[in-house]
Structure 1
Amino acid sequence: MIQRPLLQLFTRTSLVVQIFIGLVAGILLALLLPQAVPHVGLLGELFIAALKAVAPVLVFLLVISAIASHQQGQPTHIRPVLVLYLVGTLCAAIVAVIASSLWPTTLPLAEAATGANPPGGIGEVLKTLLFNITSNPISALLEANYIGILAWAIGLGLAIRQGSDSTRAAFSDLARGVTLIVKVVIHFAPFGVFGLVATTLVDTGLQALLGYAQLLLVLIGCMLFVALVVNPVIVWWKIRRNPYPLVFLCLRESGVTAFFTRSSAANVPVNLQICERLGLHEDTYSISIPLGATINMAGAAVTISVLTLAAVHTLGISVDLPTALLLCVVSAVSACGASGVAGGSLLLIPLACSLFGIPNEVAMQVVAIGFVIGILQDAAETAVNSSTDVLFTAAACLAAERKQA
């Protein structure tokens, strides 16, 4: 008898409130009963695994269905969204370079290494993107390669438009079926956040972050400035009305889950659900959201710029205006090639460091420091990246509606 009222209370409470409760419960468990954390940590791992498992299939079927069912002459708003993605990422890099110049940070560089191989240049980043487009469709789905998934889904969608009505209806039903599965997975977000927070606090703690307090302040300060000042200005320019209700909605509903999953790719199902609730154009968000998880990386641009300039200041290298502007462009382009997984932007730091002649051995030490502070840096970065995907998609759709009115 007691269980039913509790279940009703749980189902009637908003998802954001449930996630907040899970967050507080995870912190309390980590502080009061750390020995119990290994048992609940499985909840976080299962939640992220479920999101990563369902997201590629959802995107694949949703894009095929949207394109196959698209009526000739019906408008889409992909081009404005792409422009917003590029402008937002470049502005974020500029903010990071200015902030790093105003508050220069130095790093305690010591010999450190990671087992990863960073890209050797912009050409290699672009080459990787091109090969991702031509990836085998099965491999693209297995590896969550969203560029490849989109390429195949668009191609199949265009082909199926020439097919029978029953074929198009079948893909539409499949897309709706996977969407229902996604809704079930997202309902477990509070339990996932509970396990993730508890595990993170016990495994990493906060002591390791104290030595990098100034670096974290610059990094997270830049990301907050981008999320609360730069993005609202861009959105206002697009929709010509108060952008903050939309900005706060995106941060609350997308940024919170992205902060804890630390993966733009894993947050794709969450963003698609938000776009559906906002009543946005399905032909637009079914493509712009997974594409944004790959190329809309304002937070990554901030990370690359700030950590690169921290290495520059540590080594006493002078930075002139042309080089600073070049760093902004390189950071923005490199960020577009960052993978949508935790720590994906860190391996692009050696590429930016090469602009200043910093050897790869030193640059990889900076990458190692990035992994140390990743508990906060990567979480904040992903929150900015993922929430901006929804924000700019919504801004483009609302702007189109304003013009039609």
Structure 2
Amino acid sequence: MSTQTSSKSSRSLWRRYLDFPLIWKLAIGLVAGAVAGLAIGEPITVIAPLGDLFLRLLKMLVMPLIIVTLIAGVSSVTPAALGRIGFKAFLFYLVTSAFAITIGLALALAVAPGSGLKMPGETVEGSEPPPVSETLLNIVPDNPFKALVDGNVLAVMFAAIVAGLALTYMRGSDDDRVRELGDFLRRGVDGAVELIFLVIKGVLQYAPIGVFALIAVVMGETGVESIVPLAKLTGVVYGGIALQIAVYTGIMLLFRVGIRRFFAAAKDPMLTGFVTRSSSGTLPVSSRAAEKLGVQEGVYSFTLPLGATVNMDGTAIYVGAATVFVANISGVDLTVSQLLTVVLVGVLASIGTAGVPGAGLIMLTMTVSQTGLSMAPVALVAGIDAILDMARTSCNVTGDLVGTRIIAQTERGMLRDPDTTDAPEPPDDSGTDAHSVSTAT
């Protein structure tokens, strides 16, 4: 009898845990991890594998998620509609990135965060980013399976888009056999989407433990050392990101998007991005948020993976601020030409860097070298990069969702149950309404 009672009690506790809102579980893990890290210090790094496991679980889902949702999404829209979506996504991401890096530069020039700090004695060898031409060429994989293994997101996206387009033409074929095979393959893709979202739902139940470990390790290694110039740089980056979030809010108001509903759905990916420091790793959570916002797969299956690769508004703010920080330490007053170079290189570099932890340092290395500044001060930025990376990644994934939500609203049939009823419907120039895709929520 006691055994049955204990079993029922355990199930009840587990059920209560599952029913407890994820955002609160993540918040508790975040606060508890920060307290534990500061209280215990360096020894807390012994629990690092718990955080690494969470990152691995998320990254495990990234490629399967991109493949199945992108094939499903592309095969649900016409090629003409896909071309419009891609153009709108690139335009939105590039414009907001240019705006973001300008915010970072303006705030840093006003605060001068590196003033009074001496240049460190040793230099930093930054990772050499690939040229833009090579990045664009590598979008077309010579071996899609190798691209999958290497984690080349753009190449995998290209292969998935080609497969989705082929599936679209199969389903619309005049040949009954080809059309039936296309419908059969589409049902398999829909089943794979349901499977991936079910796995995501399970992985997120482990998220609070992973969050606790990740934050505890970062706080344990960083400590509470308060170096004024570095604190200023941190303040500039976080302040710039707050302004960028305000810009997003203004854009959504222009399109009459429900702000409260948007952030209610976006809070989970924002917090996940803050903790994991990976736009790509947050894709599963961002996809769930897009579903909650009513965005169809035909949009988010393309815009979210693309945004995780090329949309780095938070990182752009960081690059602008950190470049001024490096110039302050080097005793260099940036010219107008150098500032324009920072904006241009920062925006273009975002295309060639992946949405993974530490990618911002690659962008910073490229920008600093292009402006002719010393690389030595980058060592100081690298010391607090984890703290800055948290906020900028959260901003990145927010920008991805804002762009996705707005693009969905401008495409007929790509937004279910919109939170605004007075927004004008866009003209239907695609010929047919998009086919909706059923996914797990």
Specify if TM > 0.5: yes
- What letter is aligned with 1:61? V
CA shift, 1:39, in A, is 5.1
Aligned length: 395
The answer as to whether partners of 2:113 and 2:230 remain within 8 angstroms in 1 is no
Residues 31 and 302 (structure 1 numbering): CA distance in 2 closer, same or farther, change over 3 Å?
Answer: closer
Whole-Å separation in 2 of the counterparts to 1:137 and 1:357: 38
- Select the residue among 266, 271, 276 that pairs with 2:286: 271
Whole-Å separation in 2 of the counterparts to 1:211 and 1:166: 61
Partner residue, 1:55: 62
Partner residue, 2:406: 395
1:3-402 map, 5 Å: 3-32=10-39, 37-38=44-45, 40-70=47-77, 77-106=85-114, 107-114=117-124, 116-119=126-129, 124-134=131-141, 136-161=143-168, 162=170, 163=178, 164=181, 165-207=183-225, 212-227=230-245, 229-237=246-254, 239=255, 241=256, 244-246=259-261, 248-249=263-264, 252-358=267-373, 362-363=374-375, 365-400=376-411, 402=423
CA shift, 1:400, in A, is 4.3
The answer as to whether partners of 2:44 and 2:216 remain within 8 angstroms in 1 is yes
CA shift, 1:119, in A, is 3.2
Residues 69 and 355 (structure 1 numbering): CA distance in 2 closer, same or farther, change over 3 Å?
Answer: closer
The answer as to whether partners of 1:209 and 1:373 remain within 8 angstroms in 2 is no
The answer as to whether partners of 2:38 and 2:224 remain within 8 angstroms in 1 is no
Whole-Å separation in 2 of the counterparts to 1:98 and 1:198: 33
- What letter is aligned with 1:21? I
- What letter is aligned with 1:285? Y
Please tell me whether Structure 1 or Structure 2 has the larger radius of gyration of its CA atoms. 2
CA shift, 1:371, in A, is 1.8
Whole-Å separation in 2 of the counterparts to 1:315 and 1:33: 36
CA shift, 1:71, in A, is 6.0
Matched residue SS, 2:127: coil
Matched residue SS, 2:355: coil
Residues 16 and 376 (structure 1 numbering): CA distance in 2 closer, same or farther, change over 3 Å?
Answer: same
Partner residue, 1:404: 425
The answer as to whether partners of 2:42 and 2:220 remain within 8 angstroms in 1 is no
Q: TM-score, normalised by structure 1?
A: 0.89
Moved more, 392-401 or 242-251: 242-251
Matched residue SS, 2:121: coil
Matched residue SS, 2:158: helix
CA shift, 1:184, in A, is 1.2
Whole-Å separation in 1 of the counterparts to 2:106 and 2:267: 28
Residues 248 and 83 (structure 1 numbering): CA distance in 2 closer, same or farther, change over 3 Å?
Answer: same
The answer as to whether partners of 2:33 and 2:213 remain within 8 angstroms in 1 is yes
Q: List runs of 5+ in structure 1 lacking aligned partners.
A: none
Whole-Å separation in 2 of the counterparts to 1:49 and 1:367: 28
User: What does the per-residue CA deviation read over 1:230-286, in whole Å, with 9 as the maximum and x for residues that have no partner?
Assistant: 22222333x1x3663255336522111101100111011110111112211211000
Residues 314 and 29 (structure 1 numbering): CA distance in 2 closer, same or farther, change over 3 Å?
Answer: closer
Whole-Å separation in 2 of the counterparts to 1:101 and 1:34: 35
Q: TM-score, normalised by structure 2?
A: 0.82
Residues 304 and 39 (structure 1 numbering): CA distance in 2 closer, same or farther, change over 3 Å?
Answer: closer
- What letter is aligned with 1:97? L
Residues 115 and 354 (structure 1 numbering): CA distance in 2 closer, same or farther, change over 3 Å?
Answer: closer
The answer as to whether partners of 2:278 and 2:357 remain within 8 angstroms in 1 is yes
- What letter is aligned with 1:105? P
Question: Which one has the bigger helix percentage?
Answer: 1
- What letter is aligned with 1:98? A
- What letter is aligned with 1:333? L
Matched residue SS, 1:110: coil
- What letter is aligned with 1:182? I
Residues 183 and 57 (structure 1 numbering): CA distance in 2 closer, same or farther, change over 3 Å?
Answer: same
Whole-Å separation in 2 of the counterparts to 1:381 and 1:133: 29
Q: List runs of 5+ in structure 2 lacking aligned partners.
A: 1-5, 171-177, 413-422, 427-441
Whole-Å separation in 1 of the counterparts to 2:286 and 2:389: 18
The answer as to whether partners of 1:246 and 1:391 remain within 8 angstroms in 2 is no
Whole-Å separation in 2 of the counterparts to 1:327 and 1:63: 33
Whole-Å separation in 2 of the counterparts to 1:88 and 1:279: 23
CA shift, 1:90, in A, is 0.8
Whole-Å separation in 2 of the counterparts to 1:18 and 1:46: 18
